[in-house]
Structure 1
Amino acid sequence: MPEYSTASQERIPFPRKLAYGAGALANNLLGAAIGMMSIVLVTGLKLNPAVVGLLMAIPRLTDALTDPMMGYVSDHTRSRWGRRRPYIFVGALVAGVVFAFLWQLPAGYSDSFYFWYFLLGSIVFYLAYTVFATPWVAMGYELTPDYNERTRLMGVANFIGQFAWVAVPWFYAIMENDALFEDSVAGARGLAIAIGIFVALVGIVPAVFCRERFSESDLSPEAGYEGASSFLEGLKRNAVGFAKGFWATIRFLPFLKLCGATFLVFNGFMLVSSFSSFVIIYYVFGGDQDGGARYIGWFGTVSSVSTFCVILLVTWVSARLGKRRTFFVATGISIVGYGLKWFCYDPQQPQLLLLPAPLIAFGLGALFTLMGSMVADVCDLDELETGERREGMFGSIFWWVVKLGMALALALSGFLLNVTGFDAELGGGQAERTLFLLRVFDILVPMLTSGIAIWIMASYRLTEARALEVRRELERRRGRVGQET
């Protein structure tokens, strides 16, 4: 493997890495909070788990159109503030406000009312979320041309974003706290306001303090309606350009492998993520929601703290083993962690359930540190072959695949929970078969999906050596060899 050191002009100043990482904190908090807080819809409003699964899934399916469109718009925007920054700024503000309103659920209404209120509100929320998140992701792909500096940037961003996962596992305990709120639904109202304000303030930081690397002379000249004789002609041209860019992106094999592996690792985890909570509450603690909530919080906290260490370790190891091999090692360790849960779900010794957490943390901790860096490499390879920079399109489709999988996982999780025979009205009196199936699904599903992801990445061929060749050729084309900043 080639050995080289990152040139000083290609290193991103640490304060700028922190600024970009603030976007990860806002991004993760929005994505994780809505999933964790959805438990209130089952335990507080007594909605059917399958219905709640649909409520979580349907709005994400709209991202199939809005994410790639936002990516295309971001790629083709030309403004005095850059391609990404205006959208990041506005999107963060609007997403924070809409999230706060989404959870102001009034009491005493029918299940049908809650369904439509939450469904329509979620669609608006995810639209605002897309306006923020898609350009923010794309900005990270272009901040540096250096192979290893990209991993360092993603490591810092993932590290900062991980603080969201430290806090989120405690959200249920906060909402259920009788000293703070009269019930969990009231708790969701108050917590959502705090989250919305925080996201609005933190999410704008990348827009204010980060600077985009490419000037207009580096980019494809076709943008907006420039050169079009009419609005309709410009609209038609952009529609054709969007279709061509979308088709070229989804056919790019190295990118598809990254999407497939990410889909499997992340959404294998997401499919049964709520099952761990149900196992802890109803199997380990026999239906004691307060006791279970505390251990859910502790499990999440141990996982998150472990992930901080994993991110630092993976960033260091990746520069020595390469990104693909590091992915194999980290994902393999997480598979061992999932299997260990079977022996650590022990009602007599609940503290044992904390033991698998550090091993499981290797899966997601490595995933988004490595994959973000690898997608940036893919963007370079695509430019070499097409002559266009499409970070927004690649980032939007990559994260749409993640969110599509999340939508399917959330939808299926409700039905899968019904398959186990779980009944919230029974409390701690769940059937033995139900408790057994909860544990089986919780453990086997992520083990299988992670194993398939390793198999897919075994044929990924964009190595460090190839990435360096691609970069040199791009610099030669621009007449800027050694000049990238």
Structure 2
Amino acid sequence: MSSAQTLSRDKLPLGQKVAFGTGNLVVNLLPGALGVFSFFLLTAFGIDPVLAGLLGGLPRLLDAITDPIMGYITDNSKSRFGRRRPFIFVGAILSGVLFALLWQLNPDNTEMYNFWYFLILSFIFIIANTIFATPYIGLGYEMTSDYNERTRLMAFAQTIGQVAWMIVPWFWVLIANPNLFESQAVGVRNLSIIVGGICIVLGVIPAIFCKEIKQESITNRDDITFKNIVKNFKGLIRSMVLIFKNLSFLRLCGATFLVFNGFQLVASFSYFIIVFYMFQGNYGDAGTWPAWFSTVSALCTAFLIIPIITWMSSRWGKRNAFIVATFISIIGYALKWWGFNPDNPWLIFMPIPFMVFGIGGLFTLMMSMTADVCDLDEYNNGMPRKEGTFGAIYWWMVKLGQALALVLGGLVLKLVGFDAGAEIQTTETLTNLRLADILIPAITAGLAILVMWKYDLTEEKAGEIKDALVKRRGEL
């Protein structure tokens, strides 16, 4: 059990937590909506599946470049408004506007016109979203220096972020509803404007109301100018080298990659199992069961699992909380074998409270532990603090896992014999699909436990580092 008391100066008011949490809703809503809307590139706008795959994959290559660059820029920026908040404000507006513009496609246009329109705007959107998301993540790492308050902040933000995943599954239902929109294309265009507007309003809130670390505490920052571009590039490489030497951080990245990639790889399998195993390929009978499965998962994560994870972390430490939560998720994956029952559809909700311990614990704890790692880096390597670069590299690992999951998920479906054109799948295919749905995330979760087994940045050690940094900076 934690024996340290959170100092009053390290406690965050509820308003600060709410303001930061609204940004996390945007961070989740944009990719969630993008994933749903991308399906309609094929059905509503007539884009070839191969071209649609390129539209999903090519912008990710740019993401891998822009994230660490933006992290370095925000770590070293200087302004009277702070080094994070100006970027968050501008990035939120640009992200919302560009997301809406991205989907103003017309099915009457030629396929190649729509392809190039979407691809070019996707690249611009990725840059805008990086301008918002990377400083936002870095801001969260520096809002408090307390070991447990960091977990409480991330737990609060993750709870608000889960609202996006309660809403996103219903976009399928709304867009395809002829009583709401005259066509899927019209539904996508109109709904994208609403999503973009929401993201602008919510995205600027952290920039206005959240407080950054005191600027005078940040020393030794590089001068970010076009004149110093070569020097700045060397500074970026130097920062990344130091980060990749941080074994504690590498463990966090490795565990996140395993848990998230395993989860994402089979994320769509539940939909197929519900439709083809539980309802014998009848989409009408399957109805809204898949959407409710996703929504209930998000509800459990937000209001049941995250509070439990926060309690576990304060009692047992973040590493132990992660290991226990990940092990419980393995039990949840195993329960899916009995939960997906054609004779009783309600049983699909049985594994959820156990299964979502994995993702619920992952980002709540890993975001908090990354903030601790930022202290460790300052302790070992001095100023400037690198929250932006750490956050950029961490989330690049998440995006890499997501991209690989998109590729490998299709490969697994092919290996189990799934035929997307068939109304009825063979018994062997469905058995293999159900086994893959359980075994893949369970195995990757088990490997993540092994990766984190020797993680040694405990509360006691983090406290010693914090005290040393306070003394070094000359703070009271």
Tell me how far 1:450 sits from its aligned partner: 0.7
Tell me how far 1:183 sits from its aligned partner: 3.8
Matching of residues 268-347 of structure 1 within 5 Å: 268-308=262-302, 309-347=304-342
Write the deviation string for residues 323-361 of structure 1: whole angstroms up to 9, x where unpaired. Answer: 000001111111111111122222222221121112111
Whether the 8 Å contact between 2:44 and 2:107 is mirrored in structure 1 is: no
2:131 equivalent in structure 1: 131
- Bigger drift between 174-183 and 127-136 goes to 174-183
Tell me how far 1:46 sits from its aligned partner: 6.7
2:187 equivalent in structure 1: 187
Tell me how far 1:205 sits from its aligned partner: 0.3
- Bigger drift between 351-360 and 19-28 goes to 351-360
Tell me how far 1:419 sits from its aligned partner: 3.7
Matched, 1:249 2:243: yes
2:353 equivalent in structure 1: 358
- Bigger drift between 214-223 and 264-273 goes to 214-223
What is the identity, as a one-letter code, of the residue corresponding to 1:354? Answer: F
Q: Note closer, same or farther for the CA distance 1:314–1:123 as it changes in structure 2 (3 Å cut).
A: same
Structure 2 Cα separation of the partners of residues 430 and 239 of structure 1: 53
Structure 2 Cα separation of the partners of residues 137 and 370 of structure 1: 14
Tell me how far 1:112 sits from its aligned partner: 5.0
1:96 equivalent in structure 2: 96
1:451 equivalent in structure 2: 446
What is the identity, as a one-letter code, of the residue corresponding to 2:398? Answer: V
Structure 1 Cα separation of the partners of residues 347 and 170 of structure 2: 19
Q: Note closer, same or farther for the CA distance 1:282–1:124 as it changes in structure 2 (3 Å cut).
A: farther
1:106 equivalent in structure 2: 106
Tell me how far 1:432 sits from its aligned partner: 3.6
TM-score, reference length from structure 2: 0.94
Q: Note closer, same or farther for the CA distance 1:206–1:254 as it changes in structure 2 (3 Å cut).
A: same
- SS of 1:331 mapped into structure 2: helix
Structure 1 Cα separation of the partners of residues 128 and 30 of structure 2: 11
Whether the 8 Å contact between 2:2 and 2:315 is mirrored in structure 1 is: no
Tell me how far 1:109 sits from its aligned partner: 5.3
2:31 equivalent in structure 1: 31
Structure 2 Cα separation of the partners of residues 350 and 114 of structure 1: 40
Write the deviation string for residues 270-297 of structure 1: whole angstroms up to 9, x where unpaired. Answer: 1121122222223222333344350111
Structure 2 Cα separation of the partners of residues 54 and 187 of structure 1: 23
Q: Note closer, same or farther for the CA distance 1:161–1:444 as it changes in structure 2 (3 Å cut).
A: same
Task: Choose the corresponding residue for 1:429, options 421, 424, 433.
Answer: 424
- SS of 1:282 mapped into structure 2: helix
Task: Choose the corresponding residue for 1:239, options 233, 243, 248.
Answer: 233
Whether the 8 Å contact between 1:22 and 1:205 is mirrored in structure 2 is: yes
Tell me how far 1:14 sits from its aligned partner: 0.9
Q: Note closer, same or farther for the CA distance 1:325–1:217 as it changes in structure 2 (3 Å cut).
A: closer
- Bigger drift between 33-42 and 358-367 goes to 33-42
What is the identity, as a one-letter code, of the residue corresponding to 2:409? Answer: S
Structure 1 Cα separation of the partners of residues 350 and 48 of structure 2: 32
Q: Note closer, same or farther for the CA distance 1:475–1:14 as it changes in structure 2 (3 Å cut).
A: same
Tell me how far 1:113 sits from its aligned partner: 5.0
Gaps of 5+ in 2: none
Matched, 1:176 2:176: yes
Tell me how far 1:258 sits from its aligned partner: 0.1
1:406 equivalent in structure 2: 402
Structure 2 Cα separation of the partners of residues 283 and 341 of structure 1: 13
Whether the 8 Å contact between 2:255 and 2:448 is mirrored in structure 1 is: yes
What is the identity, as a one-letter code, of the residue corresponding to 2:197? Answer: I
1:394 equivalent in structure 2: 390
Structure 2 Cα separation of the partners of residues 105 and 346 of structure 1: 40
Q: Note closer, same or farther for the CA distance 1:76–1:479 as it changes in structure 2 (3 Å cut).
A: same
Whether the 8 Å contact between 2:2 and 2:317 is mirrored in structure 1 is: no
Whether the 8 Å contact between 1:49 and 1:414 is mirrored in structure 2 is: no
Structure 2 Cα separation of the partners of residues 47 and 433 of structure 1: 32
Whether the 8 Å contact between 2:134 and 2:392 is mirrored in structure 1 is: yes
Structure 1 Cα separation of the partners of residues 416 and 37 of structure 2: 22
- Bigger drift between 382-391 and 1-10 goes to 1-10
- Bigger drift between 300-309 and 71-80 goes to 300-309
Structure 2 Cα separation of the partners of residues 50 and 447 of structure 1: 31
Q: How many residues are paired up?
A: 474
What is the identity, as a one-letter code, of the residue corresponding to 1:81? Answer: F
- Bigger drift between 30-39 and 142-151 goes to 30-39
Structure 1 runs of 4+ off > 6 angstroms?
A: none
Whether the 8 Å contact between 1:68 and 1:393 is mirrored in structure 2 is: yes
1:228 equivalent in structure 2: none
Matching of residues 191-202 of structure 1 within 5 Å: 191-202=191-202
- SS of 2:356 mapped into structure 1: helix
Structure 2 Cα separation of the partners of residues 264 and 469 of structure 1: 30
Write the deviation string for residues 75-111 of structure 1: whole angstroms up to 9, x where unpaired. Answer: 0100011000011011111111111122233214565
Structure 2 Cα separation of the partners of residues 350 and 117 of structure 1: 42
Whether the 8 Å contact between 1:176 and 1:187 is mirrored in structure 2 is: yes
Write the deviation string for residues 62-83 of structure 1: whole angstroms up to 9, x where unpaired. Answer: 2111000000000010001100
Tell me how far 1:59 sits from its aligned partner: 1.4
Q: Note closer, same or farther for the CA distance 1:69–1:112 as it changes in structure 2 (3 Å cut).
A: same
Tell me how far 1:48 sits from its aligned partner: 6.4
- Bigger drift between 264-273 and 119-128 goes to 119-128
Task: Choose the corresponding residue for 1:373, options 363, 368, 373.
Answer: 368
Structure 1 Cα separation of the partners of residues 343 and 393 of structure 2: 46
| RMSD (CA atoms) | 2.0
